[in-house]
């Protein structure tokens, strides 16, 4: 560009010089011919004309060169620099050689360039930060333009919606998950968008989807933003809460109904002492059952609210297990069950909530006795692996179906509700056991097969591990 301008200017000057030369030459010759002046004088005038013309051309070229060097070239450099900045290239003007006439222009341009570079770097950093945040959010984020084309979508949105294949349009995406929603309403009806919430089920996940419009710098509608939240766990917990409330109501209602029924019968009728004793025994058993249920609920409530202060003391785990077995030996003898206990020598001392651990062992051992048929075998092993002490209780009882194993620690969950109630269970024993072990940094694992029996392993850190 710069060189082409120079060439054009020089050509124009040369053409003008030639035209001036020809015009002056023709005029001079005519005048000389008319005045009958000798050829020598004519030649002398022509020579002088040539010298003057050459001097004019030379001076013009020098002026053009000086102008381009001092003024045009710096301006050209400024233009090229502006073009590079427009293309996104970071540039710092070299102003070591300046002309005083355009010094202010160069200085202003230089300052502008530095400011633009700083702002550009700041915007770039902010953009990367936002992109990183959006990319690693657990919530799904999508943005669409006015035509429904995707502007942005993060990996969470793709995963949550289960998108496969190229889907770049608003309608394509939401039709693929059978969700009827209108993009124009979201963009142009702001009140509708603010109130719109969708809860859908996609591949065993519950999703809450929020829609909102966004505007450009001139406050004109520019597109829509979609936020996707996975509320599967919330729905599951809400269902568990509802089921829990229903179970509590049912479990309390059943014994109360029995107590009220038998008490009313006794009050309004005359029975022989034997029948009265039978009725009173039922009332007493149901009262005990209801009391046990209420106590278990209170214990769970205290654990939930962290109201139980566990006093951790040092004790021998083998001795505690033997003590629990002695307490339940009568129940095992009634069913003619063989219970064997094996304690590994030199089991390290544990430091935990002794009363809580005792409650856990009694609950698990009691379940083994209840759900093992008459004449069954129950084996108890107490030992340690590395820095963990363990209690392993194995029976050949009725077992637990595989589908139920993942839910047995849920409150009021029973494999066989009718049988559990008949045996006096509340459906809270395993839930309480898990809460206790969690508070003592322990764990409980259960393996079982229907018709073959159940294996329960209780693990508690030893003092050595606690001190490590």
pLDDT on residue 7: 57
Least confident of 31-45, 117-131, 163-177: 31-45
> Domain residue spans in the chain?
1-127, 137-230, 236-301, 312-467
Residue 254: which pLDDT band, with cuts at 50, 70 and 90? confident
Q: Mean of the pLDDT values across residues 53-75?
A: 64
Residue-wise pLDDT tens digits, 85-111: 666 565 555 555 555 555 666 666 667
Give per-residue burial for 79-110: e unless 16+ CB within 10 Å, then b: eebeeebeeeeebebeeeeeeeeeeeebeebb
- Look at the block and give the residue holding tokens 């107490």: 382
β-pairing, 338-343 vs 377-385, is parallel
Residue-wise pLDDT tens digits, 218-239: 888 888 888 888 888 888 877 7
Distance CA 174, CA 176 (A): 5
Which candidate, 66, 76, 80, 79, places its Cα nearest to that of 3? 76
Which candidate, 112, 226, 235, places its Cα nearest to that of 177? 226
- Cα 1 to Cα 71, 76, 293: the distances in Å are 15, 8, 93
Q: CB atoms < 10 A from the CB of 198, how many?
A: 16
User: Does residue 341 carry a pLDDT above 60?
Assistant: yes
Find residue 261's DSSP bridge partners. Answer: none
Distance CA 426, CA 163 (A): 45
The continuous run of DSSP H or E covering 99 comes out as none
Runs of H (alpha helix) within 223-353: 232-268, 273-304, 317-334
Q: Mean of the pLDDT values across residues 146-152?
A: 87
pLDDT on residue 97: 53
Between residues 379 and 21, which one has the greater pLDDT? 379
Contacts of 46 (CB under 8 A, 6+ apart): 25, 28
Distance CA 203, CA 241 (A): 23
Distance CA 185, CA 439 (A): 52
Contacts of 230 (CB under 8 A, 6+ apart): 138, 139, 160, 205, 206, 207
CA-based end-to-end distance of the chain: 78
Between residues 415 and 317, which one has the greater pLDDT? 317
Distance CA 293, CA 251 (A): 8
The continuous run of DSSP H or E covering 210 comes out as strand 205-215
User: Does residue 147 carry a pLDDT above 80?
Assistant: yes
Residue-wise pLDDT tens digits, 403-440: 888 888 877 776 665 555 555 566 778 888 888 888 88
Output the six-digit token pair for 70: 């001092």
Which candidate, 83, 85, 74, places its Cα nearest to that of 116? 85
pLDDT on residue 2: 46
Q: Is CATH 3.40.50.170 correct for 236-301?
A: no
Distance CA 232, CA 114 (A): 51
Distance CA 313, CA 32 (A): 136
User: Does residue 326 carry a pLDDT above 60?
Assistant: yes
Residue 390: which pLDDT band, with cuts at 50, 70 and 90? very high
Distance CA 115, CA 106 (A): 14
Contacts of 310 (CB under 8 A, 6+ apart): 352, 353, 356, 439, 440
Which candidate, 432, 434, 461, places its Cα nearest to that of 446? 434
Distance CA 157, CA 141 (A): 6
User: Does residue 189 carry a pLDDT above 80?
Assistant: no
The continuous run of DSSP H or E covering 10 comes out as helix 2-35
Q: CB atoms < 10 A from the CB of 115, how many?
A: 10
Give me the architecture of the 137-230 domain, per CATH.
2-Layer Sandwich (3.30)
Distance CA 131, CA 127 (A): 6
Is residue 291 classed exposed, middle or buried when 0-12, 13-18 and 19+ CB atoms within 10 A define those classes? exposed
The continuous run of DSSP H or E covering 436 comes out as helix 429-439
The continuous run of DSSP H or E covering 60 comes out as helix 39-67
CATH class of 312-467: alpha beta
């Amino acid at each position: 560009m710069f060189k082409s301008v120079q060439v054009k200017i020089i050509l124009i000057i040369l053409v003008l010089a030639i035209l001036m030369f020809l015009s002056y030459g023709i005029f001079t010759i005519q005048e000389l011919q008319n005045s009958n002046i000798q050829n020598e004088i004519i030649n002398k005038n022509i020579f002088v004309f040539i010298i003057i013309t050459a001097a004019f051309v030379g001076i013009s070229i020098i002026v053009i060169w000086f102008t381009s060097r001092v003024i045009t070239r710096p301006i050209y450099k400024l233009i090229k620099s502006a073009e590079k900045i427009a293309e996104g290239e970071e540039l710092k003007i070299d102003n070591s050689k300046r002309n005083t006439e355009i010094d202010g222009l160069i200085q202003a341009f230089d300052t502008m360039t530095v400011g633009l570079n700083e702002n550009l770097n700041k915007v770039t950093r902010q953009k990367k930060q936002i992109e990183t945040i959006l990319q690693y959010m657990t919530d799904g984020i999508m943005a669409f333009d006015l035509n429904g084309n995707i502007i942005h979508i993060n990996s969470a949105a793709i995963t949550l919606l289960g998108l496969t294949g190229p889907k770049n349009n608003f309608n394509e995406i939401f039709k693929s998950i059978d969700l009827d929603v209108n993009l124009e309403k979201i963009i142009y009806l702001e009140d509708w968008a603010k109130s719109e919430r969708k809860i859908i089920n996609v591949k065993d996940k519950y999703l809450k989807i929020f829609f909102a419009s966004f505007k450009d710098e001139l406050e004109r509608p520019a597109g829509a933003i979609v936020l996707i939240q996975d509320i599967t766990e919330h729905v599951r917990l809400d269902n568990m809460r509802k089921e829990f409330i229903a179970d509590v109501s049912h479990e309390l209602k059943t014994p109360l109904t029995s107590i009220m029924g038998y008490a009313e019968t006794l009050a309004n009728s005359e029975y022989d002492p034997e029948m009265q004793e039978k009725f009173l025994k039922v009332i007493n058993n149901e009262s005990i059952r209801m009391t046990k249920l209420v106590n278990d609920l209170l214990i769970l409530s205290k654990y939930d609210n962290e109201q139980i202060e566990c006093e951790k003391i040092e004790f021998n785990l083998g001795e505690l297990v033997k003590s629990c077995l002695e307490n339940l030996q009568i129940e095992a003898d009634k069913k003619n069950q063989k219970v064997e206990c094996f304690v590994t020598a030199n089991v390290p001392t544990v430091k935990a909530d002794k009363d809580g651990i005792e409650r856990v062992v009694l609950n698990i051992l009691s379940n083994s006795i209840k759900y093992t048929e008459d004449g069954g075998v129950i084996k108890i092993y107490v030992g340690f692996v590395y820095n963990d002490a363990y209690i392993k209780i194995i029976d050949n009882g009725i077992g637990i179906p595989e589908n139920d194993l993942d839910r047995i620690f849920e409150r009021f969950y029973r494999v066989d509700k009718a049988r559990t109630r008949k045996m006096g269970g509340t459906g809270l024993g395993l839930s309480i056991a898990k809460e206790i072990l969690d508070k003592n940094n322990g764990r409980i694992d259960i393996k079982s097969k229907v018709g073959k029996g159940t294996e329960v392993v209780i693990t508690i850190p030893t003092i050595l591990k606690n001190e490590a």
